Structure 1
Amino acid sequence: MRCILVILDGLGDKGIPALGGHTPLQVARTPNLDQIAAAGVCGLYHSCLQGQAMPSEMAHFVMFGYDLAQFPGRGYIEMRAEGFPVHSGDVALLSRTFSVKKEKEMFILKVEKMNIDKETLAPLHKAIRFYCEKGVEIEFIPTKGIAGLSIMRGPGLSAEITDSNPIYENRPIMKVLPRQDAKNPAAANYTAEILNKYLLWSYNILSNHPINKAREKEHTPPINFIGLQRAGQHQPLTPFSQKWGLKALCIASGAIYYGLCSTLGMDVLHVQDTEDPGKDLEKRLRLAYEAKGYDFIYVHTKATDEAAHERKPDLKIRVIEALDHAFKFARDVFIPDEDVLLVVTSDHSTASIGNMIHSGETVPIVMKGKYTRRDSVDTFDEISCALGGLGILRQHELMYMILNLLDRGKLGGLMDSPVDQPYYPGPYIPLKG
């Protein structure tokens, strides 16, 4: 048997007052997902603790069965996804150029999301491309629009630091500090000290650039600061196939998803998004079904999360309904195939109202395979699935249940190899006479 895990990113939501306290998923017409729910066993899932809002990359890391203490950081993952080399000891950070205003010696974030043409951005990004302090080199690498990545190279660096980008407008840029739980406080403090000098340097360079001088004369917000967040550094990780005994394939379009999966040693099939999320997902489901050389195929769509970030519940409803059309293929092909364990869930909730970036509610999950129980749930949403036979799955329980339903789980206490792996058989060595 093989598992096809479908992640509808940010599917869960808060109760929407305008929808009578229901979520977009509850309101959406999802006949295909409902039939899959009726055929399988349902429940709820959370990658950490109920109420804890998780970013996608960390939620996925836990979902794939890894401990957050091992998480290498989003900056590191995106740097790898973009194909840039990250060596041991380097620190990678998400970076973006935006507009601030200096008030009472503070830098107030005025415009965090800026749609600026390449011709304007290129000279500005070139001006802050390289920086050096105390033998540490920092390179800013533009990726898309105002966004980019910064990489620090040099001895004695640490990713155990805080962010500078406050994300929310009209808040001050934050001083980079060592994290209180840093394992190497001296290295974290040293890294933070260099980054704070880098931030002030970037402001001086950008503020005095002729392009920004001209923008200010035109009363147009200058692009005069670089915000940093989510520092990351290489961490030794057990490859997914070794950890769970499953040869894995990732089918995704987003950098953090195929970047994370490649970091975990999965094979990656990089697909593109179009204006039709339903057709995109159907294509990915077909590719997953055809990938019969793999034991674990992870399929991802970002469409539901992006709709929620627009703060438009009606848009999220329409996107959910479009995705449901794709599940007709899964309903007709995956469900009858006893060689397929289909798992449909989400990494986290993304509220389409309010101020939170992501929210902490549980998300629905359905599993359908040869050995799944069958409960009485016949509707796929956050409330109906709460009555399902899976109950609430948390953290690594998802991977353990997948192994169990693939009939590959190991009885606790058996030791067929020096590592107490969760699958059977493990990498044993035959005794020879």
Structure 2
Amino acid sequence: MKYITVLVDGMADYEIESLGNKTPLQVANIPNITNLAQKGEIGLVQTVPKGMSPGSDTANLSVMGYAPEIYHTGRSPLEAASMGVELLETDVTFRCNVVTLSEDEPYDEKTMIDHSAGEISSEESKELILFLKKELENEFIKYYPGVSYRHLIVWDNGPLEFTLIPPHDFLGQKVTSYLPQGPNSGILYDMMKKSFDLLNNHPINISRKEKGLNPANSIWIWGEGKKPKLDSFNEKFGLKGSVISAVDLIYGIGILAGLKAIPVEGATGTIHTNFDGKATAAIKAILDGDDFVYIHLEAPDECGHQGDLDGKIKSIEIIDEKIVKPVQNAMEKAGEAYRILILPDHRTPIKIRTHSSEPVPYVIYDSTLDSFKEENRFSEMAAENSGKFFSAGHELLNYFLQK
């Protein structure tokens, strides 16, 4: 039996008045996922444990079978693993976004315009981070460039008692109430404030503004954590496998779990990602001998953060056509027995433009079973009405793998 998880980041949502009080999932044209739902099982799963933040780190650990209450030590150290940054037990790591802030006010009164600086390219942001590295790095605090707007800071023997808020949690609001808090938070704040002075008129940002693009004119520090340790996926579940993504977080979880991280050229984590390449990589991994593959798709989440309803619907439809359809066709052609699990890690509702903690829908299809329920659909409401519910998200994978 082969096992394929298609993780559609932030796909679930709330009912939206302009859609006739339906969700993007309910109005999206997803014939391939609908077919799997009718021939399979739908239900709800609580991927984010009560009391924990609904981050992609927490939720993806859960979906991959690792109870966040046990394994979660912060978001950024998972990303560090993907970036090949060796951490000491005493290191404290931080996610370092390059963001777009309003320009005219004092730093404390600026507005968070864009958590991703217009989904800036990795090439542009790398140059900006290396510039900050030269200007702001010291004996204890080091900068590491990552992918697009997502970067890393490591503080040797640093403190961990901070209150740090993700920039996508307060888009369109003043930063005043969301600045770093806690002992030594002034060090982080000082770096953020200095970064604006250094970056706002950097040649890259001057060029971006001339093109009508959002400048990456500040860093925003959050996602603190310490070196994690995950049990081997192979030892835990008796399977060997791979992860396919565009973001360091997912690759980091996979690497720490002993899974292969398969890079895909042109994978960006946006609606403009290389969907075809991801599907091809997944099919090759399975047919070349992997038992399990985890395909992570970021586009609906990014559209949710941007408040882009049309983009969110379109990205879900693209994933149905360019990921689900070719993967299923390849498995049928190969004659392999397989199961597919499709679900989001969390909701990223258009209304609030950030993550929320409600349960999310899942669909499981097993090629060896013969059933059909015309009424089954893959949506938040249909899943809720199914009567199937996993209150602990990590238990869903055991069920999917029939462990």
TM-score by length of 2: 0.78
Q: Which amino acid aligns with 1:395?
A: G
8 A contact 1:241–1:247 mirrored in 2: yes
Q: The residue matched to 1:394 in structure 2 has which SS? A: coil
1:360 aligns with 2:370: no
- 1:110 CA displacement: 5.6
8 A contact 2:234–2:240 mirrored in 1: yes
- 1:309 CA displacement: 3.1
- 1:56 CA displacement: 1.6
- Aligned residue pairs, count: 383
> Which residue of structure 2 lines up, in the alignment, with residue 381 of structure 1?
379
Q: The residue matched to 1:229 in structure 2 has which SS? A: strand
Structure 2 gaps, min length 5:
none
Q: The residue matched to 2:301 in structure 1 has which SS? A: helix
Q: The residue matched to 1:383 in structure 2 has which SS? A: helix
Q: Which amino acid aligns with 1:65?
A: G
- 1:19 CA displacement: 1.0
Q: Which amino acid aligns with 2:361?
A: P
* Residues in 2 aligned to 1:123 and 1:319: alpha-carbon distance in whole angstroms: 29
Percent identity reads 25
> Which residue of structure 2 lines up, in the alignment, with residue 12 of structure 1?
12
8 A contact 1:130–1:137 mirrored in 2: no
1:312 aligns with 2:308: yes
- 1:365 CA displacement: 1.5
Q: Which amino acid aligns with 1:341?
A: R
Rate the CA distance shift 1:390–1:281 in 2: closer, same or farther, 3 A. Answer: farther
Of residues 262, 265, 279, the one that matches 1:272 is 265
> Which residue of structure 1 lines up, in the alignment, with residue 394 of structure 2?
396
1:41 aligns with 2:41: yes
RMSD of the TM alignment (CA)? 4.0
* Residues in 1 aligned to 2:274 and 2:9: alpha-carbon distance in whole angstroms: 12
* Residues in 2 aligned to 1:36 and 1:123: alpha-carbon distance in whole angstroms: 45
* Residues in 2 aligned to 1:385 and 1:168: alpha-carbon distance in whole angstroms: 30
Q: The residue matched to 1:378 in structure 2 has which SS? A: coil
Rate the CA distance shift 1:17–1:89 in 2: closer, same or farther, 3 A. Answer: same
Q: The residue matched to 1:380 in structure 2 has which SS? A: coil
- 1:25 CA displacement: 1.5
- 1:229 CA displacement: 0.5
1:303 aligns with 2:295: no
1:148 aligns with 2:146: no
Q: Deviations over 1:78-121 (max 9, x none)?
A: 22322333232212211245546697894534655546898899
Q: Which amino acid aligns with 1:6?
A: V
Rate the CA distance shift 1:378–1:172 in 2: closer, same or farther, 3 A. Answer: closer
* Residues in 1 aligned to 2:372 and 2:274: alpha-carbon distance in whole angstroms: 30
8 A contact 2:42–2:383 mirrored in 1: yes
1:94-105 equivalent positions in 2, closer than 5 A: 94-97=95-98, 99=101
Larger displacement relative to structure 2 (278-287 or 12-21): 278-287
Q: Which amino acid aligns with 1:126?
A: F
> Which residue of structure 2 lines up, in the alignment, with residue 287 of structure 1?
284
Q: The residue matched to 2:110 in structure 1 has which SS? A: strand
- 1:123 CA displacement: 7.4
1:244 aligns with 2:237: yes
- 1:72 CA displacement: 3.0
8 A contact 1:334–1:340 mirrored in 2: yes
- 1:262 CA displacement: 0.8
In terms of fraction of residues, the more helix-rich structure is 2
* Residues in 2 aligned to 1:335 and 1:389: alpha-carbon distance in whole angstroms: 30
- 1:334 CA displacement: 3.7
Of residues 85, 98, 108, the one that matches 2:110 is 108
> Which residue of structure 1 lines up, in the alignment, with residue 248 of structure 2?
255
Q: Deviations over 1:8-40 (max 9, x none)?
A: 222211111111111111112222212111221
TM-score by length of 1: 0.73
> Which residue of structure 2 lines up, in the alignment, with residue 80 of structure 1?
81
Rate the CA distance shift 1:131–1:288 in 2: closer, same or farther, 3 A. Answer: same
Structure 1 gaps, min length 5:
179-188, 410-433
> Which residue of structure 1 lines up, in the alignment, with residue 198 of structure 2?
206
Q: The residue matched to 1:159 in structure 2 has which SS? A: coil
Rate the CA distance shift 1:102–1:270 in 2: closer, same or farther, 3 A. Answer: same
Q: The residue matched to 2:151 in structure 1 has which SS? A: strand
